[in-house]
Structure 1
Amino acid sequence: MIFGARETAAAEGCYLAHAIACGGMHLQKGHRLTRSDLAALSAEGVMSLVVAELESGDVHEEEAARRIGRAAAGAGVRTDPAFTGRVNLFATGDGLLVVDVLRVNCLNRLHPALTIATRANHSPVEAGRMVATVKIIPFAAPESAISAAEALGAMVHVAPYQRQNVVLVATQLPTLKASTMDKTRRILDDRLKRAGARVIEEFRVPHNEQAVEGGLYQAMALSPDLVVLFGASATVDIGDVAPAGLCRAGGRVQHFGMPVDPGNLLFLGALQGTPVIGAPGCARSPVENGFDFILNRIIANIEVNPEEIMDLGVGGLLMEIVSRPQPRSGPVARGGPVAAVVLAAGKSTRMGGPNKLLATIDGVPLVRHVVTSLAASKTGEIIVVTGDRAAAVEEALAGMPVRFAFNPDFAEGLSTSLRVGIAALADDVDAALIALGDMPFIDAAAFDRVIDAYVSSSDTFAVVATANGKRGNPVLWSRRFFDDLKKIRGDTGARHLIGANEAFVAEVEIGEAASLDLDTPEALRAAGGRIGPDTER
């Protein structure tokens, strides 16, 4: 590939290195220059351009990304179309992401033009969740490097959850409250629910080896896929009550201890071919810990051996990660304001042409309905993220108490607007209420109910509005999630963060308004809306 400045007249067929706007023209970076483009630019006095010219043996960035993405996607993974030299890979179902680390590293070392980035190995993912992205750095890459990358084969796949039936065996001591054991069961139920698994039976037995042996016999009579063993006191040695009881029942301990904190005192065993997890005390908490690492893999039917457990030390210190709220840190002060972020940048693709935010109900644009309700609510500053038809959206909100934040990457999906909105918030904001610009029937009282649910509870870090129990919008996020929200990519929201932090999420019923967005002409007309000339592009 030849890169550099070139006379405009000699740049036909080359790819523009930087976007250019002049004389009513706007050509994007990567645009392939035509004869008419060059004539128009020359007429405007543009005599030279920085361009890239592909040579023999070069593969254009879009084709290169498409080929590598297709090769890298294993079972349970799909690819999106290439865009600006990038292909995103998504899970087609729920499960555990499995990354071939050696192949990923090999690809990234093949040639500086080729990159692939993935989520962490063995991360839980949901259908539609982005799991990897392929990016070609320059405008083209050598065919030899692309072919070598394809030859590496699949690098990411999703292992579906398979082990569904779990039996819980829990020991009792006079010092352990029944309410604590009940809570432990509920938290385990919640963990399993995300994977479509369930506790089919619980056996509570005294805290001694013989009782553990008996409880395990009862468990095995039910032919479970997994047994979880909770000790009333911590297991401090391989000869302690819980592991010793497993051995008395004819099982074996495969490994005791792990380099993950919280989670050090976990043990892994087997009984009659069924995996048994000796849960550490931290597994009584919903906060992610080492127990989750092992539980998720076993439910996804991924074999776990002692060497893999001992390799978990890098990244195994979990206690200080911001996105994992710390119960032991005490109540969180709700001192700062709650700001609102209105997402109003989308292209309204399903509307078939018009910008839906400019459509009207009772003569008022949809986006103005939303902002009017927010302005009458308890929210502080209102940030409106614009993109498509930005000037028209701003005009529709003339006189409203808002601050605009333009998203130049709005065509790349909802996550880009979310990042722009979060980045625009003031430093003292305690939480952000994320509202969609096409949901005009949410009134100020509904917004206030969502805010009140957050302000009134120090244990709540996200609030989701629901319609008849089904989650919808708006969603409120505590500041502690802002960094995570900025990391989201693609045309996706932040639902996965809710799933990963269920214990700290509150739901607020606000009725049908939480689910009624006006994405299509039919939905708009059914709601009494009108598409006017101002909505056209």
Structure 2
Amino acid sequence: MIRTMCIKIGVLSAMKEMRTVDAVGQVLCQDITQIVRGVTKNARFRKGHVIQEEDIPVLLSLGKDHIYIWEENAQEMHENEAADVLRELCQNDHMTATEPKEGKIELVATCDGVFQVDEDRFDAVNELEDITIATLAQNMPVKKGMKLAGMRVTPLFIAREKMEEVRRTAGSEPLLRLLPYRKDLKVGVVTTGTEVFLGRIKDTFTPVIEAKLKKFGLTITEHRLSDDVTEHTKAAIEELLDLGMDIILCTGGMSVDPDDRTPAAIRDAGVDIVTYGASVLPGAMFLLGYCEREGREVTVMGLPGCVMFDKATIFDMILPRAIAGDRVTRKEIRHFGIGGLCMRCEVCRYPICPFQK
């Protein structure tokens, strides 16, 4: 047996030669290239690969009767094991993990929902040298089967002491979470505007809302029309609250014109308004509030006219979180200004785009 010493990123590690037939479970310390004339010249096995029983005949066919492997070191951890530590610190409910591949593990959604990251703790972990965790954007709506995150360490081997530091930095709670969409939600819509109420013009806003709700498997449970009288709109909202709606959407009358009175009606119906106005374009006149009814929290939104015309607005950002039961704060909505300018692309790919990222 031949032993040599290798320097890797400041860590002294032992490397040894051994017979290939005895190498099951050992870790390769070099790429093994396969050359087939006219077909391929590429690495058949990568450095860091854990040798399996079925690999032995392949290695022998490549002329490798002896190979170099990393000698076990109790003070160090292989990249696959280290990736599993990161996986443990990240994985939460509604996520499944892939098997380690070349030192990387990915997390995949097991349901539709809203993906979230504990940003402060997450950043603290990623600040540590040799640690890499990459995720989807904060509050991104995801579908079952989508990749949520990938993680790995930089070196082939990393000190166990370093991974303990990672654990301490991350804390006891998972760094990631996936909020599943709630089922069987009751959604009420109040359409305001005397011109619609009297039938002078056709209601073209409600079909837009129906189409957006359909993407989440929801329909409009109750629909009310109201003229521009504040008391009438208030009464319609209160009726929907009494009927047990989980989400109430109000359209029309959301600008600052004197006859736009929907925000006042929402307030008068007892809704605690988080914000009237948002740092998002399109969506500056958006209203968000919450109301407690019989032990449940009802989300109430006032939708500006842009929701009817633009493919992606603040409503598309808030609706998934409302369906998941996640309360949005005024501070968050004001922070939306960074990334809150829609580029109005000819082909809209939201949420796979920079809008509100």
Class of the TM-score when normalised by the shorter of the 2 chains = 0.7 to 0.9
User: Which of 34, 53, 62 lines up with 1:21 in the alignment?
Assistant: 34
Find the partner of 1:58 among 59, 76, 90.
76
Counterpart amino acid of 2:113?
G
Q: What's the counterpart of residue 271 of structure 2?
A: 251
Contact 2:276 2:287 survives alignment (8 Å) = yes
Q: Does 1:200 align with 2:221?
A: yes
The residue type paired with residue 123 of structure 1 is M
Q: What amino acid maps onto 1:279 in structure 2? A: L
2:230–2:262 Cα contact (<8 Å) kept: yes
Aligned match of 2:299: 275
1:216 aligns with 2:237: yes
Q: TM-score, normalised by structure 2?
A: 0.76
Partner residue in 2 for 1:417:
none
Q: Out of 318, 338, 352, which is 1:294 matched to?
A: 318
* Structure 1 SS opposite 2:336: coil
SS of match in other structure, 1:307: helix
Aligned twin of 2:117: 99
1:387-398 mapped onto 2 (5 Å cutoff): none
Instruction: Determine if contact 1:2/1:55 at 8 Å carries over to the other structure.
Output: no
**Which of these residues, 138, 159, 178, is aligned with residue 158 of structure 1?**
178
Cα distance, 1:72–1:205 mapped onto 2, change above 3 Å: same
Matches within 5 A, 1:121-140: 121-140=138-157
How has the CA–CA distance of structure 1 residues 54 and 181 changed in structure 2, closer, same or farther, with 3 Å as cutoff?
farther
Give 1:245 shift. 1.1
Is the 1:187–1:286 Cα contact (8 Å) retained in structure 2? Answer: no
Deviation at 1:58, TM superposition (A): 1.8
> Paired residue for 1:90, among 103, 108, 118?
108
Say whether the 8 Å CA contact 2:197–2:227 is kept in structure 1.
Answer: no
Q: CA deviation at 1:251?
A: 2.9
> Which residue identity lines up with residue 85 of structure 2 in the other structure?
R
Partner of residue 266, structure 1: 286
Given that 1:261 and 1:319 are in contact with CA atoms closer than 8 Å, whether structure 2 keeps it comes out as no
Deviations 1:303-361 (A, max 9, x none): 112112112122212224576269xxxxxxxxxxxxxxxxxxxxxxxxxxxxxxxxxxx
Amino acid at match of 1:118: T
Deviations for 1:356-384, whole angstroms, at most 9, x for unmatched residues? xxxxxxxxxxxxxxxxxxxxxxxxxxxxx
User: Where do 1:6-405 residues align within 5 Å?
Assistant: 11-12=17-18, 15-22=28-35, 27-30=44-47, 31=49, 55-112=73-130, 114-151=131-168, 152=170, 153-162=173-182, 164-174=185-195, 182-231=203-252, 233-236=253-256, 240-273=260-293, 274-285=298-309, 287-320=311-344, 324=348
Equivalent in the alignment of 2:23: none
For residues 191-242 of structure 1, what are the alpha-carbon distances to aligned partners after superposition, in whole Å with 9 as ceiling and x for unaligned? 22333332101111112312211211221221111111111x4423899501
The CA deviation string for residues 153-187 of structure 1, in whole angstroms up to 9 with x for no partner, is 41111112227111000112438997986442222
Indicate the percent of aligned positions where both proteins have the same amino acid: 24
Whole-angstrom distance in 2 between the partners of 1:149 and 1:238: 57
The answer as to whether partners of 2:193 and 2:227 remain within 8 angstroms in 1 is: yes
1:288 to 1:53, Cα distance in 2 relative to 1, 3 A: farther
CA contact (8 A) 1:2 1:54 kept: no
CA-CA distance at 1:288 after TM superposition: 2.0
Equivalent residues of 1:54, 1:140 under 8 A apart: no
SS across alignment from 2:127: helix
**Distance (whole Å) between structure 2 residues aligned to residue 314 and residue 221 of structure 1:** 38
Question: Which stretch of the first structure deviates more once superposed, 191-200 or 71-80?
Answer: 191-200
Amino acid at match of 1:263: G
The higher-RCO structure (CA 8 Å, 6+ apart) is 2
Bigger drift between 278-287 and 315-324 goes to 315-324
Work out whether residues 196 and 203 of structure 2, in 8 Å CA contact, stay in contact via their aligned partners in 1.
no
Q: For the structure 1 residues 178 and 284, does the alpha-carbon distance in structure 2 shift closer, same or farther, using more than 3 Å as the test?
A: farther
Whole-Å separation in 2 of the counterparts to 1:140 and 1:246: 59
Unaligned 5+ segments in structure 2 are: 1-5, 10-14, 19-25
Aligned residue number for residue 22 of structure 2: none
Pick which of 116-125 and 244-253 moved more: 244-253
Q: Which moved more, 1:26-35 or 1:66-75?
A: 26-35
**Number of positions where the alignment pairs a residue of Structure 1 with one of Structure 2:** 319
Q: Distance in 2 between matches of 1:238 and 1:120?
A: 39
| Unaligned runs of at least 5 residues, structure 1 | 327-480, 486-537
Change (3 A) 1:54 1:10: closer
**CA drift at 1:41:** 5.5
> Once structures 1 and 2 are overlaid, which stretch shifts more, 306-315 or 272-281?
272-281
The separation in 2 between residues aligned to 1:219 and 1:194, in whole angstroms, is: 23
Q: Secondary structure at the match of 1:228?
A: strand
* 1:146 CA displacement: 2.2
| Per-residue Cα deviation, 1:424-460 (whole angstroms, up to 9, x for no partner) | xxxxxxxxxxxxxxxxxxxxxxxxxxxxxxxxxxxxx
Question: Residue 282 and residue 142 in structure 1: after superposition, are their counterparts in 2 closer, same or farther (change >3 A)?
Answer: farther
Tell me: CA distance 1:243–1:103, structure 2 relative to 1, closer, same or farther (3 Å).
Answer: same
In structure 2, how many angstroms separate the alpha carbons of the residues matched to 1:175 and 1:18?
A: 71
